[in-house]
A and B are shown apart, each in its own frame.
Chain A
Amino acid sequence: MKKSYQSLEDNSTYYMKQVIYRSLTSRIVSLCFALLLAFSTSLTAQEGDPVNGKSLYNSNCAACHKLDKPMTGPALRNVEARLADEQGLDREWLSAWIRNSSSLIKSGDAYANKIFNEYNGTPMTPFPQLSDQDISDILAYTAEEKKEPVVVESNTNEGASQQGGVSNDIILGALALLFGLLAMALVLVNRTLNRFAKAKDIEVFTAQEKRTPLWKAFVQNQFLVLVTAIIFLLASGYFVYGYFMQVGVDQGYEPVQPIHYSHRIHAGDNGIDCKYCHSSARVSKTSGIPSLNVCMNCHKSISEVAPETLAEGTEYGVDYNAEIQKLYDAVGWDGTGYTGDSKPVKWIRIHNLPDFAYFNHSQHVEVGGIECQTCHGPVEEMEIMYQNAPLTMGWCINCHRETNVKVKDNEYYTKIHEELSKKYGVEQLTVAQMGGLECGKCHY
């Protein structure tokens, strides 16, 4: 009722000011207006304001209740009408339930006990702080018609990589066609020119008869042959070397994963910390791939992506909702509980050092204070994960030569740092100076 009071006040001050200027009739009119306004607001107040209801619902109830699907608690669409129809329960019961369901259950209320047992005795949080107005706002929100979801067209048949392949092929085909056409055009131009020349009786200059052909001249000039041979050898040596050097280097490796999991959406758009999922990077050698229960911390509630996200997915040719469904199939989640029928997801490993090299994440991330992105690239923009760095020995060594050890606030290093900086006569030690180039540190 606070609201209606306020509007009455506002109107009356308005009215008071006007007293000085206006006649009685206008006074009466504005008084009527004020009364009407107050009356109409108090009417809507009783009915409940679905907009305020929505924000109350989202902050208090949505953790356990969805509007159209049971979650921790039952679906709440039209709950007031439903309970009135089916159980003959009124607003008073609802208010009592919402404010403190457990005392209602303890009081022996039949329906309260029935629904409590139906949901395996999961208690609902009490909300003593909600006023009558708040509760009618929430109920007004639950009584709203269901909005039809926006249908987004998506072609689920083509996987992302497939589509990439197809578009590549098209571009290549177009290029080949272009070259073909060019060649043909050249031939045609040449022919017509020749024909013109013949028609005009100009003699076309043909080199063959008069001079030795070019290739023969070339073969006869031994110096030229030698130089060409050397250039040819050098060039092919360069390419062969390049080819052999990249064997075993997987930079850019981008396999198709069993679940299309996007770092762009999780780490980028939604800003989830890398260590939320790769939590062992804090404390151990490996970063690890999160087990599926970590995914379910969020995906118990997120069973479908927002329509805007779904539309973004069509750009990459994936149906995000189907991918989340794959996650559910793998953990064995049927929307309300675990079925116990789970199967592991076979993620394909991307970054992989040979077994004779030792790399430790916590040492670099926690002790060295290096950001994940320094080595793994712009992960928060990757729709599909790929290997950003070459992971060759040269790459490790380069960084060890250039990077300073973070000695600040690290007691472990105080003594070592003092001794070594005296030895090298420098203030800041690089990893290399600390011994980061010793074979045994990385090879065991």
Chain B
Amino acid sequence: MHINMKIATKYIVALVLLVSFVSCQNNSRPNYQYMPNMYESVGYETYQESDAFKNGVEAQLPAEGSIPRGDFMPFEIENTNEGFAYAKANLKSPLDSLQVDYTEGKILYDIYCGICHGNKGDGKGKLVQREKILGVPSYDDVGRAITTGSIYHVIYYGKNTMGSYANQLNETERWQVVAYVEKLKADLEK
């Protein structure tokens, strides 16, 4: 009898200890590391904090007017109503019919635009169906009468509540998407 008692209490103590050990594990803090100096280089990491600049981050905006390397053409049409009207009337795609690649256009379109505009371009994307975002037009909307240039302008600068996609798509990708949108528009108008 006595021995049983002792064993029982021992088990209980062991269990309580184990449970308390396990519960000490904390997932909201990173684990210990062996030699952190091998893990973190002296060089800056992207977006690292640093006192080198006034706003306290290592990553800074490029200086005003800087352009990327390679064959880059600045987009000179302004983000104004006049600019929009100008682009709508005059801007043309630099891609010729051989460079247009609807498969690539579709992949990009489905990632960035389909969520609102719908993968068919009818203005019924998933967010619209769930009534999270309203008022997304169909590409064959007569009042808007979108053109090559206006689509590009909208992707580049956004329009009213639609934001700009210039930082997610590079220049050729934007023109691929424009071509694909025009194809969707033509399909809708059939």
Measured between beta carbons, the chain B residues less than 8 angstroms from A399 are none
- How big is chain B's contact interface, by range? 35 or more
State whether the Cβ of B99 lies closer than 8 Å to any Cβ in chain A.
no
* B66 interface residue per 8 A CB criterion: no
CB pair B168 A253 closer than 8 Å:
no
Interface secondary structure of A, over-half rule = loop
CB distance from A228 to the nearest CB of B (A): 15
Q: What per-residue 1/0 map shows which CB atoms of B126-139 lie under 8 Å from chain A? A: 11001111111100
- In the complex, the answer to whether B168 meets A279 with C-beta atoms within 8 Å is yes
Chain B contacts with A in 158-176, Cβ cutoff 8 A: 158, 160-165, 167-168
A270 to B114, CA, bound (A): 12
Contact yes or no, A172 B23, CB < 8 A: yes
Chain A residue at minimal CB-CB distance from B145: A126
A282-B122 Cα distance, complex, nearest whole Å: 27
Q: How far is the CA of A256 from the CA of B137 in the complex (A)?
A: 38
Shortest Cβ distance from residue B125 to the other chain A in the assembled complex, whole angstroms:
9
Task: Given A248-B32, A250-B30, decide whether A293 and B132 contact each other with a Cβ distance below 8 A.
Answer: no
A298-B142 in contact (CB<8A):
no
Contact A256 B110 (CB under 8 A): no
A276 lies within 8 A of B112 (CB):
yes
Whether A270 and B132, one on each chain, are in contact in the complex, defined by CB atoms closer than 8 angstroms, is yes
Question: Does A59 make an interface contact (CB < 8 A)?
Answer: yes
Name the residue of chain A whose CB is nearest to the CB of B25. A252
> In angstroms, how far is the closest chain B Cβ from the Cβ of A130?
9
CB-CB under 8 A for A183 and B137, given A72-B161, A253-B30, A275-B111: no
Report the Cα distance A250→B131, complex, angstroms.
Answer: 39
A254 at the interface (CB under 8 A from B): yes
Q: Interface with B: A34-42, A186-194, A312-320, A434-442, which one?
A: A186-194
Known: A122-B160, A126-B143. A247 touches B34 (CB 8 A): yes
CB distance from B21 to the nearest CB of A (A): 10
- A400 near B: Cβ within 8 Å? no
* A156 interface contact, C-beta 8 A: no
User: Considering the complex, which residues of chain B in the window 45-78 have a beta carbon less than 8 Å from any beta carbon of chain A?
Assistant: 46-47, 49, 55, 57
B4-12, B90-98, B177-185: which lies at the interface: B4-12
A254 to B31, CA, bound (A): 11
Q: Could you say which residues of chain A place their CB within 8 Å of the CB of B33?
A: 247-248
A270 contacts B111, CB within 8 Å?
no
CB of A128 within 8 A of CB of B27, answer no
Q: How far, in Å, is B132 (CB) from chain A's closest CB?
A: 6
A386 lies within 8 A of B27 (CB): yes
Are A250 and B31 in contact, CB atoms less than 8 angstroms apart? yes
Closest to B8 in A: A186
A-B pairs, 5 with minimum CB distance: A63-B135, A297-B163, A62-B134, A62-B135, A354-B39
Add 20 more A-B contacts to A253-B27, A253-B30 (CB < 8 A): A59-B123, A62-B134, A63-B160, A63-B161, A121-B81, A168-B23, A172-B19, A182-B12, A186-B9, A190-B1, A190-B5, A252-B27, A256-B28, A273-B115, A279-B167, A279-B168, A294-B167, A298-B132, A298-B163, A355-B38
